[in-house]
């Protein structure tokens, strides 16, 4: 049998009807045999009844009006981003950059632009397949809400990387054709 | 959160937020300011919370605002002496005609007034738990979520608050009357 102390801790939930069936049965069983806990329950119900009877004040309309006027005067708030979201966007972008690095295993000089491609068609096909997989993975990592952050970050990726990819793509298509 | 969703949340929770502020601060004007600030924070946060989770968020904010507000008021009293409690009576009634400075808390039964006085003797932590559970009807697990505490800790707090209230109320009322209340 539950102790009085344990039952007393459950009385608030019991009187609010928030106990599960098993707990309620335990409390019922204890109450039927314990006068002290029945008195405690009576006090609990009295408190609940009195507090529930306090005036239920309603928020004045002028408060609602003031709130709506204030938000209309403010710019629409941008969705809040958790720091982790930004972190995940960086991870996704890093994966994309790594995919490009896979495509350029024989050295990339950002200052001088892309090296003269000397890949075979087979190498390029394999690299493109790997890059596609990595980019797909990056896209999945970046959910819809984070894409804007990633897009902004992507704009800062050096143009030379883009040119490298284009040059390799052109070479690959040329090799296949 | 877009404007229509925000308005829906505002309409759903404004009374709950206002009541908590009113019973916590006991001044309608302060409660209105705190309510307004809580909802503005919701808008400014740009929260993408689903509407059904805005209630606990707002309660947490209004609770913190009330704590800060009460602290500031206490500090002002220390610095500038007691407030002019009759000043509000000199104000003209507003357009809604409800210029009661306490939001209607003066129209209480004797029993309710005793209870409110007894509530004031509780610690702020115990008082907020009592208000949230008994007055606002929040479940103990919801309160635990709002206050970032364990449910077991909230249960103990409610239990202790009930005992403390009983002691104060029994001391205020003659034993015979108190007994009558229990049996009645």
Supply the DSSP symbol for A19: S
3-state secondary structure chain B: CCHHHHHHHHHHHHHHHHHHHHHHHCCHHHHHHHHHHHHHHHHHCCCCCCHHHHHHHHHHHHHHHHHHHHHHHHHHHHHHCCCCCCHHHHCCCCCCCCCCCCCCCCCCCHHHHHHHHHHHCCCHHHHHHHHHHHHCCCCHHHHHHHHCCCHHHHHHHHHHHHHHHHHHHHHHCCHHHHHHHHHC
User: Which domains does chain B possess?
Assistant: 1-107 (no CATH), 108-184 (1.10.10.10)
Whether the CB-CB separation of B58 and A59 falls below 8 Å is answered with: no
Supply the DSSP symbol for A155: T
Mean pLDDT score, A51-63? 86
* CB-based contact B14 A59, cutoff 8 Å: yes
Asked if residue A173 has pLDDT above 60, the reply is no
Q: What is the pLDDT of residues B131-149, one digit of tens each?
A: 889 888 889 999 998 888 9
Asked if residue A145 has pLDDT above 90, the reply is no
Q: Of A109, A103, A149, nearest to A129 (Cα)?
A: A103
Distance CA(A18)–CA(A25), nearest Å, equals 13
Q: What is the pLDDT of residue B33?
A: 94
Q: Is A63 on the interface with B (CB under 8 A)?
A: yes
A32 CB burial (10 A radius; 0-12, 13-18, 19+): exposed
Intra-chain end-to-end CA distance of chain B, in Å: 50
Which residues of chain B lie closer than 8 angstroms to A63, CB-CB? 14, 18, 32, 35-36
Mean pLDDT score, A85-109? 59
Which residues of chain B lie closer than 8 angstroms to A41, CB-CB? none
Q: What is the pLDDT of residue B95?
A: 40
Mean pLDDT rounded to a whole number for chain B: 79
Structure tokens at B5: 């969703």
pTM (predicted TM-score) = 0.59
Mean pLDDT score, B78-96? 47
* CB-based contact A50 B112, cutoff 8 Å: yes
Q: Is A58 on the interface with B (CB under 8 A)?
A: yes
Q: What is the pLDDT of residue B174?
A: 53
Asked if residue A96 has pLDDT above 90, the reply is no
Asked if residue A5 has pLDDT above 60, the reply is yes
Residue A78: closest CA among chain B residues belongs to which residue?
A: B46
């Amino acid at each position: 049998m539950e102790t009085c102390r344990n039952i007393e801790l459950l009385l608030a939930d019991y009187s609010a009807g928030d106990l599960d069936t098993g707990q309620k049965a335990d409390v019922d069983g204890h109450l039927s045999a314990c006068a002290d806990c029945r008195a405690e329950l009576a006090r609990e119900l009295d408190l609940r009844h009195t507090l529930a009877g306090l005036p239920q004040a309603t928020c004045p309309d002028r408060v609602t009006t003031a709130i709506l006027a204030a938000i209309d005067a403010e710019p629409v708030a941008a969705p809040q981003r958790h720091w982790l979201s930004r972190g995940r966007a960086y991870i996704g972008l890093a994966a994309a950059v790594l995919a490009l690095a896979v495509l350029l295993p024989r050295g990339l000089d950002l200052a001088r632009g892309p090296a003269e491609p000397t890949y075979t068609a087979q190498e390029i096909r394999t690299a493109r397949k790997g890059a596609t997989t990595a980019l797909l993975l990056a896209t999945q990592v970046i959910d819809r809400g984070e894409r804007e952050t990633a897009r902004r970050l992507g704009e800062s990726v050096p143009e030379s990387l883009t040119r490298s990819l284009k040059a390799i793509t052109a070479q690959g298509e040329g090799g296949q054709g | 959160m877009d404007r229509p969703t925000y308005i829906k949340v505002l309409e759903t929770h404004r009374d709950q937020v206002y009541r908590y502020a009113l019973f916590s601060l006991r001044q309608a004007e302060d409660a209105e300011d705190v309510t307004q600030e809580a909802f503005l924070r919701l808008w400014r946060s740009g929260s993408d919370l689903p509407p059904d989770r805005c209630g606990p968020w707002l309660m947490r904010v209004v609770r913190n605002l009330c704590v800060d507000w009460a602290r500031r008021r206490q500090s002002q009293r220390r610095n500038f002496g007691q407030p002019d409690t009759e000043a509000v009576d000199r104000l003209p009634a507003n357009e809604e005609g409800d210029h009661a400075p306490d939001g209607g808390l003066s129209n209480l039964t004797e029993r309710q007034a005793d209870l409110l006085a007894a509530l004031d003797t509780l610690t702020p932590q115990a008082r907020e738990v009592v208000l949230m559970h008994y007055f606002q009807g929040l479940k103990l697990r919801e309160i635990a979520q709002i206050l970032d505490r364990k449910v077991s800790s909230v249960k103990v707090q409610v239990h202790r608050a009930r005992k403390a209230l009983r002691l104060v109320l029994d001391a205020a009322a003659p034993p015979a009357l108190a007994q009558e209340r229990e049996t009645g």
